[in-house]
Every structure is written in C-alpha cells, then in structure tokens.
Structure 1
C-alpha cells in the first residue's frame, strides 16, 4: 500500500503542475532559465557571457532559482521557465506525468557529488544499518535513485527504510535536530554538511550511479528556437572548461553567490562533472535503466521510452551558430 501511495504522490508532483495549464509558447525575445544552488548554470550566471551574446540577437535572459530538480521541472511544466538543469531522476518522473520536455545535453558523471550522510556521532556504519531508520531526501530527485541503488547493493529495498521527503533546507534542519537518522543529498549541500556539521558519509555514488546532470528544455521552445539552445549549451561548455582549468578562480567567483565559504565551495566545484554534450546512446541507455528501475518499483505507472524525448537540433541551426 505504501508503494502505491508513494508512486501516486511522485507522479502527482508533476501532474499537478500540468493541470494548471499547458506549457505556454515561449517568446524568442526571452530565455527564462531555471537553476539550482549547484552546477554549471550557477557559474554561467555569474560569468554573464550568455546575456551579452544573446543580447546581440535581441534575446533577454532571466534566471529563477529552485530548491531542487522536481520543483524546477514543475516550473518548466507550467511555463514559468524554458530551460533548466536537474539530476538523473526528476526528468523520469516528469516524463511519467506527461511533461512536454526534451533532454538537450548532459554533463559527465559526478558520482562523488552526492552521498548518504549520517551525523558525526551516529552509530550507523553501513548502508545495511539503515534498515528501519528514517532517511531524509528530496522526493523524485537524483538522490532518490542513489538511495534505491545503495539499498539494493546492501540487500535491502526502499521499503526497508522510512523515507522522509523534504527539500534540502528542511532536510538539513531535520538532520541537525536528529529527527532523521540519515540524509541523502548532493553538492554543495553535501560539502557544507561535511565541513560544517562533520557529517559522515555512509556511501557516495561511486560504483552505484553516474549522477549525470541533464539540461532540459520545453519542447515548444527547443523546437522553435534551436539557435538559442545551441548558444546556451556552447556557453555552458565554455564555463565548464574554465572550471576545469582554474577551479580556484571559479570558487572565488561562485562562493559569495552560494553564501558558502571558499573551502566548502571548492570541494563542490572539484567534484562536479564538466563538459556539456549532446546525449550519447550509452547515456540514453543509462537513463532508461533508471526509468525501468522506478517502473519495477511501481513508483511510476508505466514503462517509459527515454529515446523519444531526446532533442536533435536542426543541422541548419548548428551551422548558423558555428558562423557566429
């Protein structure tokens, strides 16, 4: 019964957003980007080069911050943003709920940038020790899949723990109060908890998940304005190259925006994957495995086809971008 209720609530998270109205057709004069407190979009926003480049074409860029991937995809669903970045799992639940979204690019794996944490004084020493415990996580987020995989690897299932679904800020408060036994979270919240709370990691994503970051757009916007999407991905890729070449400079730039110390920010910056690219068949297959896993767990109601929601830019649009 709990599995059925969980499935309905996860899918409802996105279906409710769709019920407020269809995705509105975005205007070419504006690109509305949804971002989270991590990742390359934060770096791109700080750099300001995208705004300058698109301003030459009369396109204004606006930014909206979201606490997590599921909430960001709700924004895409209701038409409040045109483009955003999330972890692996939110797009699966969004697709299951009928969201009209397209995967447009991905970042290389970053499995160490998410983990299952316990308080520094906890007696828990392995994932197997989580049986019967309360675990905080953001429902439908990338760490949801990490928890499922980690439990499976330890011979358990999601039904062996009590999930406590909270966004990052509320989850941290519950973690500090001792209201939950563990917290599954991503950077920079992960790095902050490790350094500020001396939280201990039971397991990160290594050997379990890729933790790809995916860039998504509403289908209407991507199809009508492929040149804008291509420019955006080019700029994201450029910021990634800057980050790999000089992480300290990027840290100094981004730390004030995140409200975190340079020491915490540097850890998160270095653990991130950089190099946005169009999705490869191997990445599509990996994402399909995630979708199939949640279908088997009955957390989504039907089998999905990830390859059906992959964006392929028109050749003409690519050529025009290359000439700019």
Structure 2
C-alpha cells in the first residue's frame, strides 16, 4: 500500500480517537449536576452567539477546537449536547461513540475552502497534484477533500496529506510548509490576508451543514432542558441573521477576532437552524458510505439511524 494512502487510512480512521479531549479549553466535567445542561461548542459556531447572549446562563459551557475533540467529550460523558460539521459524527459513529443527531442547519458550502498562495500560480485543485495539502483529521473538510479529488480526477495518492489542527495549520500555511490548507470559518476568514487565494470552496461539492449532537442519556434525562435551550438557540440564530452588525459586535470579543473579520465570516457562514429529517439522514448516510468505500473509516456506519426528531418542534 502506498505510504500516502496508508497514512490517510490510519489517520482518518483514528480521527475520533486521536483528537482527544485535549481540544477542550474550558474543562468539561463528567460529573456535572443532573439539572444542568452541559454544552460543547466550537469557536464561531452558532452556539458561540447563544453563549454570548446568555441563552443558557445556568449551563456549563465547554469550548473545543474542532468537531472530533467535541465528539470525544460526548464519548467521555463530559457534555450533553454539542455542534459539529458533517464528518465528525460519522467518524465518531465509526469509533463506537453513542449519540443522537437532534438538529441541523441550512447548507454552508461557502464556509469551508481550499486556500493557496497567489504567487504559486495554482488555478484549480488539479494543480495540487504532487503537492502538500493540510487539513484537520476527521473534520468536515475531510468530505470536501474527497469531493475535490473526485472532481479533479485525482486519487489520494496524487497528493501528500498532512493532518494539522487549525492552530497548527495556519503557521504551516503562512510559512509555506504546505502548499494548500483546507479550512473552515472563522480560521478561513482569519487566513484571508493579502497574497492568499481561495482556490475552491464547497459550493456544488458538499453542503457542509452544522449538526447538533446529544448524548443518549441527555436525550432521555434532560429532554425538557434541551427543548427549552433549542428554542432559544433558534431564536438567537434568527436574530443574528436579521441583525448582522449587532451580531458582529457581540461575537467579536467572544471570539477574540476583530469585528471586520467576524462580519465577513458570518456573512457567508451563519445559516438558520432547521429540524432534522430522514432526508438529511440520507444525505449523511451518503457521506458515510463514501468514507467506507474509500477505506477512510474501518467499518460500515448506519449514521441515518442516529437521527432523532423529537426536538424538531423547538427548531421550527
């Protein structure tokens, strides 16, 4: 087996395990009070706005750098609910992590992209044949990579994949240690500096939805808390979309990102929440089957069976 292929199989299949709980920045606890909702969120995701606006003042909030780290916290029983992109739930399911998918968002294809340096002269993803491409293990951009390779008639052996967390990817990209970086907002927006080119985004390739995940114990034991929070979360998301300037002012200090960058990222990446449906389950299953076919996960995953529609009313 070629070295690059072996590296992808080992790295991607183990993504949910290797991300580790070290991705948390705010100490999720596995023995929180039963009447308290424990929420895992990522910087910039819609939950950041809900936190900043005080939608759940009594909740225990835990910040994660990426989706794989958040799903590890679900595995450890450290959070009740959390939000990730489309790939982390699939890798988590392959890793035997138990959870339900209780909500989603409208598609966000412009919110993830392939970045390159303009001076290098790349015009299409096919130009990256033989080059080094960085991305985070097991995250939403894993599926975008698969679709980009397919579109360019390339295989994984045609590029050198380098797995880097966002905090590692940016300096590697800036210093030309990698030729391209596949990344999502707000890291995407932060990297949009002079001389940086968007080679491609996910438009026409991947929907890049956000997904709300919940621990089975929370679905049964904290259903009322979840339902109440989701209703507030939906209202806050709608408010933010209708009031972009005010939203940026609130989120900029929360994210520790300047207001102009926050505004630019939110303009393309903030989308309404929507109920989870069997059709969206089918969409996720297609991705899971694609990963299985390529050997990116070691087992078949029935991700559509994780869909739980009992909270849909709160997201209408």
- TM-score normalised by length of structure 2: 0.90
Q: Give, in whole Å, the separation in 2 of the partners of 1:11 and 1:298.
A: 8
What SS does the aligned partner of 2:209 have? coil
Q: Give, in whole Å, the separation in 2 of the partners of 1:76 and 1:134.
A: 32
Q: CA deviation at 1:314?
A: 7.9
2:43 to 37, 47, 61: 37
Structure 1 residue 11 corresponds to structure 2 residue 17 = no
Q: CA deviation at 1:26?
A: 6.3
Q: CA deviation at 1:10?
A: 2.9
Q: Which runs of 5+ in 1 are unaligned?
A: 52-59
Q: Give, in whole Å, the separation in 2 of the partners of 1:104 and 1:267.
A: 29
Q: Give, in whole Å, the separation in 1 of the partners of 2:104 and 2:32.
A: 23
Aligned residues: 305
> What does residue 230 of structure 2 align with?
233
- After superposition, residues 272-283 of structure 1 pair within 5 angstroms as 272-283=269-280
Q: CA deviation at 1:278?
A: 2.3
Q: Give, in whole Å, the separation in 1 of the partners of 2:118 and 2:281.
A: 38
Q: CA deviation at 1:232?
A: 2.0
Structure 1 residue 49 corresponds to structure 2 residue 55 = yes
1:109 to 98, 107, 110: 107
What SS does the aligned partner of 1:201 have? strand
Deviations 1:187-225 (CA, angstroms, capped at 9, x unpaired) = 11111111x354211110111110000010111111221
Q: CA deviation at 1:172?
A: 0.2
Contact 2:278 2:307 in 1 (8 A): no
- After superposition, residues 10-159 of structure 1 pair within 5 angstroms as 10-15=12-17, 27-51=33-57, 60-159=58-157
Q: CA deviation at 1:275?
A: 2.3
Structure 1 pair 33/281, CA: closer, same or farther in 2 (3 Å)? Answer: same
Q: CA deviation at 1:97?
A: 0.7
Contact 2:277 2:309 in 1 (8 A): no
What SS does the aligned partner of 1:249 have? helix
Q: CA deviation at 1:15?
A: 4.6
- Cα root mean square deviation, aligned: 2.2
Structure 1 consecutive aligned stretches of length 4 or more whose deviation exceeds 4 Å: 15-18, 23-27
Q: Give, in whole Å, the separation in 2 of the partners of 1:131 and 1:149.
A: 15
Q: CA deviation at 1:153?
A: 0.5
1:259 to 242, 247, 256: 256
Structure 1 residue 303 corresponds to structure 2 residue 305 = no
Q: Give, in whole Å, the separation in 2 of the partners of 1:17 and 1:209.
A: 23
What SS does the aligned partner of 1:49 have? coil
Deviations 1:108-163 (CA, angstroms, capped at 9, x unpaired) = 00100100000232221110001111011001100111111011111112221111
| Higher mean displacement: 35-44 or 176-185 | 35-44
Q: CA deviation at 1:282?
A: 2.1
Q: CA deviation at 1:16?
A: 6.6
- TM-score normalised by length of structure 1: 0.88
Q: Give, in whole Å, the separation in 1 of the partners of 2:250 and 2:195.
A: 25
Q: Give, in whole Å, the separation in 2 of the partners of 1:178 and 1:288.
A: 36
Q: Give, in whole Å, the separation in 2 of the partners of 1:16 and 1:132.
A: 26
Deviations 1:224-266 (CA, angstroms, capped at 9, x unpaired) = 2111111222122111111111111100110112121211100
Q: Which runs of 5+ in 2 are unaligned?
A: 21-28
- After superposition, residues 167-316 of structure 1 pair within 5 angstroms as 167-194=165-192, 196-313=193-310
| Higher mean displacement: 114-123 or 200-209 | 114-123
Deviations 1:266-309 (CA, angstroms, capped at 9, x unpaired) = 01111124322221222111111110110011011222112211
What SS does the aligned partner of 1:50 have? coil
Contact 2:112 2:141 in 1 (8 A): yes
Contact 2:111 2:201 in 1 (8 A): yes
